[in-house]
Amino acid sequence: MKKALLFFLWVLVAVPMLAQQRQVTGKVTDTRDGTPLLGVTVSVKGTKAGTATDVDGNFKINVNGDATLSFSFVGYETITMAIGNKSHVIVKMGPDAKTLGQVEVSTGYVSKRRGTITGAISVIDGKQVESRPAGNFLHNLQGQAPGAYIMAAGGRPGAAPAVFLRGIGSINSGTAPLYIVDGQPVSGSDFSLISPDDIENINVLKDASATSIYGSRGANGVILITMKKGTKNSRPQIDYHGFYGYADINRSKFKMMNTKDRLDYEVFIGKRAADDPAIPELLKNDFNQSKVVFKPSQTQSHQLNVKSGNETTTIYFSGEYYQQDGIYFDNKFKRYSSRLAIDNQTTKWLKSGVSMYLAYMDETTPNETRNSLQNPGMLAYMLMPYENLKNDDGSWKKFLQYQAYNGARSQLWSRSQGLTGNANDHLKFLGNAYVEADIRKDLKFTSRFGMNLSDYVTKTWNAPELAAADNGNATRRFSRWSNAIWSNILNYRKTFGAHSINAVVGTEYNALTDYDFSTTSRNTAFPTLYEFGAMTVANTSSGSLSKYRMFSTLGSVNYGYKDRYFADLSIRRDGSSKFGANNKWGNFWAVGLLWNAKNEAFLKNNQLISDLRVRASIGLTGNDDIGFYPSYSINSKSNYESKPGMVPTQASNPDLAWEKKRKFNVGADLGLLDNRVTFTLDYYRELTYDMVLDVPVSYLTGFSSIKANMGKMQNNGVEFSFKTDIIRSNDINLKVTGNFTYNKNRVTELYGFRDELLGTGTGILVKVGYPRGQFKYNRFSRVNPDDGSEIWLDKNGKETTNYDGGDAVILDGKNMYAPYYGGATLDFNYKGLGIFMQWNYMIDKYMVNNTQAWLVWNNDSWFNTNRTADLYQNMWKKPGDIAKYPKYGSSTAFDDRYVENASFLRLRDLTIYYNLPKNILSSTKVFRNARVYARGNNLLTFTQWSGYDPEYFNNLELGIYPVSRSYTVGLDLTF
Amino acid sequence: MIAINKKIFLAAALGASMLMSACSKKLDQLPTTSVSTDEIYTSINGAEIALNGVYSTFYKSDYYGRNYVVIPDLAADNMILSAWANNVYNEIHRWAIHSGTYETLNYWAVAYPALHRANVFLANIDKVPVLSGENAEAVATKKKTFKAHIQALRAMFMFDLLRVYCKYDLNDQLGLPFVTAPTTEIMHKRKTVKETYDQIVQDLNDASAAIGDDNASSQTRVNKYFIAALQSRVYLYFQKWDLAIAAADKIMNVATFGYETTGANLLKVWRDDASAKEIIFKPAITEVNEAKNFSIGQWLINDDVARNKPNPDFIAPKAFAESFSAADLRRTIYFRKDSVRNYKKDSLYVINKYPGNPAYASWQEKSNAPKLLRYAEVALNKMEAAYYIDKSVSKTLLKALRAARIPGYDGTIVDAYDDVTLLNQIREERRKELAYEGHRFFDLKRWGLGFTRNREGDYQAAENAVGEIKADNYRFQWPIPQAERESNKLIDQNPGYAN
């Protein structure tokens, strides 16, 4: 019945039209490799008729007589084709060099065409960070953007690395860039809860023109992250990304004494009789304890996402499971995340949408206390080689016989038994909702409200077996961190004749509240129960509430003349609760200029040069990352005899204001041969001044320091990057990219009355005329051949047997921050089989090998722990010995012996992949894309560093949780 | 689709933006766990809270919580560093202290802020208003006694600094740098020892005049006995014998003070921190957080419940422990002969003066309040001062002390002492009685005596046999910490140190 009715209708409506209309079919492919292009818009000129290509690049369209078809696709040159009376056409489309300049780049509050931007912005494709075995994707930016200095602060899965752009930008305040995810500020550690596979791209904003619109938070640069969205009018697309693999300890050059060496050493120093009857028994065991303590750990990740869209609504949603165990045996990290983004054309003039990210992270964390022998990273080397740590069944022994360092040994057993431990779980909501109204054709109003909400629970527990006095205890800390942002932005964008304007004015309100409490309880009802319900005595509790509020007005205008000359002007005024009563408000600004030479007549038709732009900018930005209440006079709780007591703990400074940074940048972008080869070069000078320093004062003031705006520091440097598609053909493709940064940091002024930053003991010096991170240590001279004691050099270079902190000298050129760094990638594929490599390097980076110091000290305090293999051979034994290490019993000291060059070149990523051929995939009718790969991370490292891992963000390396080496196999599927 | 009226939408959006501009009041955010100094001194209750804050200085581990009690014995000849001890106090024990040594900075960084707190209190206390409903007279009395407390504490903190950093010589130029009102000046010169001494004496005299009978029966707050005991100590250090005796008599003439004469009661002094007769002042321990500040026994004994045997970081020299006669009640109370976890060859003398108060055991193992002012010290102060005035008084006091500590002690032994022997015996008795209470280093310095530390066995860290330390060793005056000198360019370093 239904069919009959339909046929009747068809006859009525369609038959009369058949006379004029006919169907044209065709296929659209990429000129470069012949792959079908999906989603190309095909339209009939002069009519409203249109369609899009399917997954195989095929399309069908009805035309009247001899029509002209137009094919357009983002990033490709639009093709117009008169088809005559053909009924089947083959169309090849190539990338459009011109449109590269037209690509819209988000600069935060407004997006701009790439060819109009006066600022220094690096763009990283989300593909460069997805599906890597790192719990925090920031690790994967290492070496990928010029100017970005990224360094692991330990290898625990999910731990955030240290990140800074264009040198370290502050002495005392925060140095991390501002991270913005779809308009919402987040912190670097939040990325342990964000699936990298949801990231569309990452824009790194560096100079004044790009960052001063972020005002008091822009000084350290801005990293803008745009998340994935659905695409309009597209067939639903499902992507699966998954990998599985394992990680192991990366590298360590420490070689410890084996049983024989160890026993010889013990006999020599008189701690064991040469004829000790225990020796033959001990010799039966010879363990490399680091192999016993560290374990290979597994990693897996699965992510599914769906993109879809029709005329009015687009949608993206995803779900992810990520699991990574650490190489410390009691370290586990799991993440579950899900994202939903909907954008809707609500009325003709109003667009609205929401995006929501919900993630849950659950981890058990090991003891990674740096300054502790209980940390497996330290313990692994300190355990005696003749000690079997494990029972026959493979479990850790409860009591060890030969490792005597207090408590350290029990860690293996007690943590593996779950008798003590730490665990965190973290719930994150990140979302925003917006409306965007077209007031007039050229004027758009956007109001966006975003919320970044984190609930963080930290747990520790000790079983009665370990905490006998308490009969078991447990601690919980809960913290809730919320950061709400509401921005209202008016965007005017118009071109009149030769003039173009893209202007923005707006307001923004930012409200951050950090709230926490923690409590401990003890006396458990049953030894295996650690929840509070089973504990009978509540012990202690504490908590705090901190608030930060910021209100801002901002404006910027991008003016262009004849598409050749552009000027950017931006202004922001921020008021913040962090600052002193006399300095609540600050103004920030920038001016940028651009000459887009490609659009000049003399280059317009040049075949070689496809892009040439010259940029310059100058401006002022601020840094407000200095804590919540730095300007107040503060008295804090300090009770006596159970009665309330308070003591002054911070001196007030009502004049305290932002740290300021003046930035200057000149740069050029050059593209050759349809941008198959591109170069970007930038030179910058950045001056941080009015730094918020803890100004050292006499302790007679009651404080060691008072916060004030003082001092100056420069970061001047050069950044260079290139991208080339060296070979681009149907079968063979080769892409090479690379970047290099040189940054020269120098402190040029501190307090005026003093040219050295206060600080004793650590060996890091901040001094006028020297870079931040300068090492200063006493100089070791030699071991006295006569008596085996240590001889140092005093500050005048004379030998002395007296170690005095006052003899420490500045070690020129030895700095904890590498001045030279960068990376390179190579991607080669042949008929779908490819190899991808990513390298990064840091040059002239120094670090103190404190682990080494702990492993070679040669006295009673360290006797009970194993020592490095060469200690016995190279220690002073008798008068006349020219020895590397002093005699046994030397109290020793910390000096320049342990400052080592930690420069490195590392093969961060090596991937071998295979993209399944399209024709095979089409025949399956299921898959659009399929890719399998095997990936190794940190496979090779070239360095002189003699200890653990050279990649560690600290001046001291002391039993760190090392960055691991991982091997994964993965699969990407598109349905 | 429902048509949204564009004009209404825009008006609403604009209105909302305007509303947001009104939020700038929100920029005044105050801390939620702390208050400003001005806010504190707006009532007498607030002032009392600040007063308690000054008292809380007694909880600092770099001061009386541990360091100031342990270090004077560890730096001298009453303690030896064990072979298995951690690296702490290494430079102190080896006599290698320099201006970057943690302990000198850490102590300085506690004591000077404590003086600042006292100064802030004294500068503000007179401003405190009488609030409605309060009795003006009562408030005035409180102000007066609070001030006396603070002045006495300031004198104590300043004298403790002087003991560490200065010579006890009124002609010496290198006294302490100090102020008596809050300062924001970055640099300060050292005053002379005389000026420092005068300020201490002045504060104690003022406090003494104003304190009256406030807290007279308290052992955990300043009272008239606290002040007198401290005065006797200060005068003794500066050889003001008459004044030292007069101050000591303010306690010795009070019938409720005296010696505990039985072993059981003496044990209570040290184990239970309890004795109305012997203890004049000890920091208060009334709750878990306070108990946690005192863990001297953890260092000296360290026998947690799980592993019964002690594992002390510092132990008593054999000869010193054995110099207490077998009949001496103190021998078994001050020392515990035991094998230790890391040294099983034979028994050692574990220092047992801080064995852990059972009353605090559930809060903190091995927690005892140090007895900062004691009857016995006052008696010893007088005994030593009297030697220079009237030796018979000294002998009487020495006999009394020994009779109390050594049951059946034959007083005629003391009667037979010649002058030289008497002085040596007074000093020896002081060493014994006040061992491990933070006196030895200062007493040696005061007497102009060096000492010799002997190597006695494997349990002693190899690096710690320093041999003889002569009386003129410059390290008897600790170095002004580098951190102070780097900002305070006006402060002179003590002679002998590299910088």
For A454: left if phi > 0, alpha if psi spans -120 to 50, otherwise beta; the answer is beta
Shortest CA gap A805–chain B (Å):
6
Q: ipTM beyond 0.95?
A: no
Q: What local confidence, expressed as pLDDT, does residue A95 receive?
A: 66
* Residue indicated by tokens 């989603």: A39
How many other CB atoms are there within 10 angstroms of residue A459's CB atom?
18
Look at A113 and A303; give whichever has higher pLDDT: A303
Rg (CA), chain A: 32
With a CB cutoff of 8 Å and minimum separation 6, the contacts of A878 are none
Residue B386 has which token pair? Answer: 């009297």
**A696–B487: do the CB atoms touch at under 8 Å?**
yes
- When pLDDT is cut at 50, 70 and 90, the band that residue A759 belongs to is low
Give chain B positions within 8 Å (CB) of A696.
186, 483, 486-487
- The mean per-residue pLDDT over the stretch A357-369 comes to 90
**B83–A860: do the CB atoms touch at under 8 Å?**
yes
Q: What local confidence, expressed as pLDDT, does residue B20 receive?
A: 60
**B34–A577: do the CB atoms touch at under 8 Å?**
no
How many other CB atoms are there within 10 angstroms of residue A401's CB atom?
11
CA distances (Å), origin A404, targets A276, A375, A379, A395, A868: 19, 15, 11, 20, 17
Q: Which CATH number fits domain A239-974: 2.60.40.10, 2.60.40.1580, 1.10.10.10, 2.40.170.20?
A: 2.40.170.20
Which tens digit of pLDDT belongs to each residue from A437-470? 888 888 999 999 999 999 999 999 988 888 877 8
- When pLDDT is cut at 50, 70 and 90, the band that residue A235 belongs to is confident
Q: Which one of A93-102, A143-152, A919-928, B216-225 scores highest in mean pLDDT? A: B216-225
Q: What local confidence, expressed as pLDDT, does residue A126 receive?
A: 83
Q: What secondary structure letter does DSSP report for B129?
A: P
Which tens digit of pLDDT belongs to each residue from A818-868? 999 999 999 999 988 999 999 999 999 999 998 888 899 888 878 888 899
Select the residue of B29, B55, B187 nearest A548 (Cβ to Cβ): B29
**B183–A700: do the CB atoms touch at under 8 Å?**
yes
Candidate from A248-252, A934-938, B94-98, B160-164 with smallest mean pLDDT: A248-252
The overall average pLDDT reported for chain A is 86
Residue B215 φ/ψ, nearest 5 degrees: 55, 25
Q: What local confidence, expressed as pLDDT, does residue A15 receive?
A: 46
**B487–A698: do the CB atoms touch at under 8 Å?**
yes
Q: What local confidence, expressed as pLDDT, does residue A12 receive?
A: 47
Give chain B positions within 8 Å (CB) of A645.
49-56
User: Pick from A116, A280, A132, A244: which is nearest to A195 by CA?
Assistant: A132
**B463–A891: do the CB atoms touch at under 8 Å?**
yes
- Helix locations, B329-439, DSSP H: 329-334, 375-387, 391-405, 412-415, 419-433
**B117–A702: do the CB atoms touch at under 8 Å?**
yes
**B29–A628: do the CB atoms touch at under 8 Å?**
yes
Probe site for chain A from B49, B288, B344 (most A CB atoms < 10 A): B49
Q: What local confidence, expressed as pLDDT, does residue A381 receive?
A: 86
Chain A to chain B Cβ contacts (< 8 Å):
283
**A702–B120: do the CB atoms touch at under 8 Å?**
yes
Candidate from A325-334, A379-388, A740-749, B301-310 with smallest mean pLDDT: B301-310
Torsion of CA B177, B181, B184, B189, to 10 degrees: -20
Q: What local confidence, expressed as pLDDT, does residue A865 receive?
A: 86
- Helix locations, B238-372, DSSP H: 241-252, 263-271, 288-291, 296-300, 318-322, 329-334
Select the residue of B40, B289, B487 nearest A635 (Cβ to Cβ): B40
**A551–B26: do the CB atoms touch at under 8 Å?**
yes
Select the residue of A347, A632, A807 nearest B31 (Cβ to Cβ): A632
* DSSP element (H, E) containing B462: none
Select the residue of B20, B32, B186 nearest A753 (Cβ to Cβ): B186
User: Pick from A222, A226, A191, A228: which is nearest to A209 by CA?
Assistant: A222
Q: Which residue of B has its CA nearest to A632?
A: B36
Q: What local confidence, expressed as pLDDT, does residue B307 receive?
A: 61
- When pLDDT is cut at 50, 70 and 90, the band that residue A380 belongs to is confident
**B482–A806: do the CB atoms touch at under 8 Å?**
yes
Q: Is the pLDDT of residue A112 over 60?
A: yes
**A635–B35: do the CB atoms touch at under 8 Å?**
yes
Q: Which CATH number fits domain A21-95: 3.90.1010.10, 1.10.150.240, 1.10.3720.10, 2.60.40.1120?
A: 2.60.40.1120
Which tens digit of pLDDT belongs to each residue from A940-954? 999 999 888 888 888
Probe site for chain B from A701, A755, A777, A778 (most B CB atoms < 10 A): A701
Candidate from A200-204, A410-414, A665-669, A749-753 with smallest mean pLDDT: A410-414
Probe site for chain A from B487, B491, B494, B497 (most A CB atoms < 10 A): B487
Give chain B positions within 8 Å (CB) of A403.
none
Percent of chain A past pLDDT 70, that is, above it, reads 95
**B461–A447: do the CB atoms touch at under 8 Å?**
no
Select the residue of B10, B185, B483 nearest A704 (Cβ to Cβ): B483
**A701–B184: do the CB atoms touch at under 8 Å?**
yes
Give chain B positions within 8 Å (CB) of A468.
304-306
User: Pick from A181, A585, A205: which is nearest to B28 by CA?
Assistant: A585
Q: What local confidence, expressed as pLDDT, does residue A595 receive?
A: 93
* Cα gap B383→A282, rounded to integer Å: 61
Q: Which residue of A has its CA nearest to B56?
A: A640
Q: What local confidence, expressed as pLDDT, does residue A102 receive?
A: 63
Name the residue ranges covered by the structural domains of chain A: 21-95, 99-227, 239-974
Shortest CA gap B418–chain A (Å):
44
User: Pick from A907, A775, A755: which is nearest to A847 by CA?
Assistant: A775
**A551–B179: do the CB atoms touch at under 8 Å?**
no
User: In the beta sheet, which residues pair with residue A159?
Assistant: none
Candidate from A393-407, A524-538, A821-835, B351-365 with smallest mean pLDDT: A393-407
Residue A711 has which token pair? Answer: 């001092």
Cα angle, residue B114 at apex, residues B112 and B120 outer, rounded to 5°: 105
Residue A722 has which token pair? Answer: 């290139």
Q: What local confidence, expressed as pLDDT, does residue A120 receive?
A: 87
Give chain A positions within 8 Å (CB) of B98.
803-806
Tens digits of pLDDT across chain B (499 residues): 445 677 777 677 666 665 665 556 677 777 877 888 888 999 999 999 999 999 999 999 999 999 999 999 999 999 998 888 877 788 899 898 999 898 999 999 999 999 999 999 999 999 999 998 999 999 999 999 999 999 999 999 999 999 999 999 999 999 999 999 999 888 999 999 999 999 999 999 999 999 999 999 999 999 999 999 999 999 999 999 999 999 999 999 999 999 999 999 999 999 999 999 999 999 999 998 899 999 898 889 887 665 678 889 899 999 999 999 999 999 999 999 988 888 877 889 999 999 999 999 888 888 999 999 999 999 999 999 999 999 999 999 999 999 999 999 999 999 999 999 999 999 999 999 999 999 999 999 999 999 998 888 888 876 666 789 999 999 999 999 988 988 898 999 999 998 7
**B116–A756: do the CB atoms touch at under 8 Å?**
no
Shortest CA gap B287–chain A (Å):
7
**B21–A349: do the CB atoms touch at under 8 Å?**
no
Q: Is the pLDDT of residue A61 over 50?
A: yes
Q: Is the pLDDT of residue A761 over 50?
A: no
Shortest CA gap A228–chain B (Å):
27
What domains does chain B contain, in order, with CATH numbers? 44-283+371-487 (1.25.40.390)
Q: What local confidence, expressed as pLDDT, does residue B21 receive?
A: 57
DSSP A16-84: HHHTTEEEEEEEEEETTT--B-SS-EEEETTSS-EEE--TTSEEEEEEESSEEEEEE-TTB--EEEEEE
Q: Which CATH number fits domain A99-227: 2.60.120.10, 2.170.130.10, 3.30.420.40, 3.20.20.70?
A: 2.170.130.10
